[in-house]
């Protein structure tokens, strides 16, 4: 039963704060619940902003999920928009706030306080950063300013700084408006949650659709003048490059809005977010925090992480409200499941990447498969690339990355669930997944990844990864391409010899028994067949993980 009437103040709306408020009302009709929102909108779909920028969402009003009036009518919530929380007095259990329109200040008391101020777009302190044509894309007012700039200036070009979710989506949607786009990324890849081999597919997709992609490029300054294009100076290695553009969108990331928490003495975690327990309580048991402002735990590594995502924020808001009213469901951490559209491709990740595992020293290996998203004989089958990362010592799934044109979101959700339920790669072999030719295959891509990884665990195959092969001197191995002559002629790995799989048994004399052999095919399956033949004939063999498709897509530097 709900406890007696409580006075709850929530600072910030959108995902976490609005979810906490609605859940609290469902648990208590008598509680006083007030939301303070600094901006003009209390609940909007900020993940939809890039698609409104591109015109796919034609009416910006569609992004408004709730208004103060609708929240009052349905949930009896008191919402104060354009109202900034200035200070928290933890000794008096009060919040000092100011109406940003009228300037009026007010003091509100609370029994419990929930912090959900979110995160702010990072704007580095660089020359020219305050120019009129420099924008972020995080709120509806941000969207309105960009739209106004585009319509009033008839601009032709734009530069997007940062290759994360917002940067990728903004670049794509500006291109769809007919604007020439340059995407500038300081690192060696876009879409940081994935490994570079996965990101290479995205790099090619960007270039195919006309985006000028500048990797390993750091913005140093912006020079703007009225009526002229802005000049961006970039550091690219030891050299500088200057490009000109009409519009600049800063999308280099976000940082949690912790100023209020810090000034009130709450504990801040080492990742920069507010530190909370499994019930979303801060270091003050009367104060909770949810959403993009908090530090959470990555369950597989057990390490503190900052992973700002909408789904977790909604669940965190619900858990905070539950705990205030005596319920005890605990937050289980954030494994980092995400999906992103990149023109005609979809990329998705869950769990830990190889580069993250390398940093923390956890044992890992991975397999790469390139199956169709549904039965190949049914029209419209699209090939995907699925990278499954696992611990070779206990077979536990550590992460997965998928890129393709169709069926990506379905498989990443299955693998996310597999991670959360601590399944092994052998378990993936036995998953019973829905199959009909328009939707999947009798051996689903998830099953296929499980088959290959299980073969590695059981010792039925040994793999060599593309980066390892590139570091191997050609004279130390025999590299055998087991594809057809026609495939070989269209492109092959340097220093390889073509012996088609169907001819392999009759041409064993062409392979030296004493020299290690690396076999490869297009995607790995025929290479596996060759591996099984050759190992049983006494050869020392490895199969190239993911085959020629992975080699061709791999980073060239």
CB 263 within 8 A of CB 270: no
What the block records as the tokens of 350 is 């869950």
CATH code, domain carrying 470: 3.40.250.10
Residue with tokens 């063999």: 541
Min mean pLDDT across 50-64, 268-282, 467-481 is at: 50-64
Q: SS3 of 36, please?
A: strand
Tell me, yes or no, whether 30 lies in a domain: yes
340 catalytic? Reply is no
What the block records as the tokens of 368 is 């790469």
Tell me, yes or no, whether 408 lies in a domain: yes
Domain co-membership, 201 together with 236: yes
Domain co-membership, 239 together with 219: yes
Q: Which residues contact 182 (CB under 8 A, 6 or more apart)?
A: 157, 158, 159, 160, 211, 212, 213, 214, 243, 245
CATH code, domain carrying 156: 3.50.50.60
Exposed/middle/buried for 443, CB within 10 Å: 0-12, 13-18, 19+? Answer: middle
Q: Which of 47, 149, 340, 521 is catalytic?
A: 47
Domain co-membership, 81 together with 145: no
Exposed/middle/buried for 71, CB within 10 Å: 0-12, 13-18, 19+? Answer: buried
Average pLDDT over residues 181-205: 96
Q: How confident is the model at residue 3 (pLDDT cuts 50, 70, 90)?
A: low
Domains in the chain, number: 4
Tell me, yes or no, whether 156 lies in a domain: yes
Q: How confident is the model at residue 557 (pLDDT cuts 50, 70, 90)?
A: low
Neighbours of 207 (CB within 10 A): 12
Residue with tokens 């039963």: 1
Average pLDDT over residues 469-496: 96
Q: How confident is the model at residue 1 (pLDDT cuts 50, 70, 90)?
A: very low
Residue 100 clears pLDDT 80, i.e. is over it:
yes
Rounded distance, CA 538 to CA 138, Å? 60
Residue 218 structural domain: 134-252
Rounded distance, CA 524 to CA 368, Å? 8
């Amino acid at each position: 039963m709900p406890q007696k009437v409580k006075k709850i103040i929530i600072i910030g709306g959108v995902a976490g704060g609005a979810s906490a408020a609605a859940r609290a009302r469902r648990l208590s009709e008598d509680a006083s619940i007030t939301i303070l929102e600094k901006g003009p909108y209390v609940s909007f779909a900020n993940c939809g902003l890039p698609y409104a920028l591109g015109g796919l969402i034609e009416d910006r009003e569609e992004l408004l999920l709730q208004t103060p009036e609708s929240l009052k009518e349905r949930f009896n919530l008191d919402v104060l928009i354009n109202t900034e929380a200035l200070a928290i007095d933890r000794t008096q259990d009060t919040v000092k706030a100011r109406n940003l329109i009228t300037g009026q200040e007010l003091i509100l008391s609370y029994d419990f306080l929930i912090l959900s101020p979110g995160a702010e777009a990072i704007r580095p302190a660089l020359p020219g950063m305050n120019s009129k044509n420099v924008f972020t894309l995080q709120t509806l007012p941000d969207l309105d300013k960009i739209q106004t700039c585009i319509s009033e200036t008839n601009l032709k070009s734009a530069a997007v700084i940062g290759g994360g979710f917002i940067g990728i989506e903004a670049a794509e949607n500006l291109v769809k408006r007919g604007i020439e786009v340059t995407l500038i990324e300081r690192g060696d890849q876009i879409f940081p949650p994935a490994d570079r081999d996965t990101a290479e597919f995205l790099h090619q997709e960007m270039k195919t659709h006309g985006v000028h992609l500048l990797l390993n490029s750091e913005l140093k300054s912006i020079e703007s003048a009225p009526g002229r294009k802005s000049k961006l100076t970039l550091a690219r290695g030891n050299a500088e490059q200057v490009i000109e553009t009409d519009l600049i969108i800063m999308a280099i990331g976000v940082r949690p809005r912790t100023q209020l928490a810090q000034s009130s003495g709450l504990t801040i975690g080492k990742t920069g977010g507010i530190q909370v327990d499994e019930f979303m309580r801060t270091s003050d048991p009367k104060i909770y925090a949810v959403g993009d402002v908090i530090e959470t735990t990555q369950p597989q590594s057990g390490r503190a992480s900052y992973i700002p995502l909408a789904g977790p924020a909604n669940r965190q808001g619900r858990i905070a409200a539950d705990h205030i009213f005596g319920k005890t469901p605990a937050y289980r951490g954030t494994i980092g499941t995400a999906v992103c559209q990149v023109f005609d491709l979809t990329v998705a990740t869950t769990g830990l990447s190889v580069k993250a595992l390398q940093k923390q020293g956890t044992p890992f290996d991975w397999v790469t498969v390139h199956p169709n998203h549904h039965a190949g004989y049914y029209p419209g089958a699209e090939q995907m690339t699925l990278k499954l990362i696992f611990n070779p010592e206990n077979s536990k799934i550590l992460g997965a990355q998928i890129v393709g044109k169709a069926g990506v979101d379905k498989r990443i959700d299955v693998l996310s669930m597999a991670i959360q339920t601590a399944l092994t790669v052998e378990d993936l072999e036995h998953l019973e997944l829905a199959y009909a030719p328009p939707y999947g295959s009798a051996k689903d891509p998830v099953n296929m990844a499980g088959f290959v990884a299980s073969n590695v665990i059981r010792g039925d195959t040994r793999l060599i990864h593309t980066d390892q092969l590139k570091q191997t001197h050609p004279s130390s191995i025999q590299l055998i391409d087991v594809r057809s002559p026609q495939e070989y002629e269209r492109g092959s790995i340097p220093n390889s010899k073509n012996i088609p799989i169907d001819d392999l048994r009759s041409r064993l004399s062409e392979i030296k028994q004493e020299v290690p052999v690396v076999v490869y095919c297009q995607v790995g399956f025929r290479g596996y067949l060759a591996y099984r033949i050759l190992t049983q004939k006494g050869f020392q063999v490895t199969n190239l993980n993911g085959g020629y498709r992975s080699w061709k897509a791999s980073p060239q530097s």
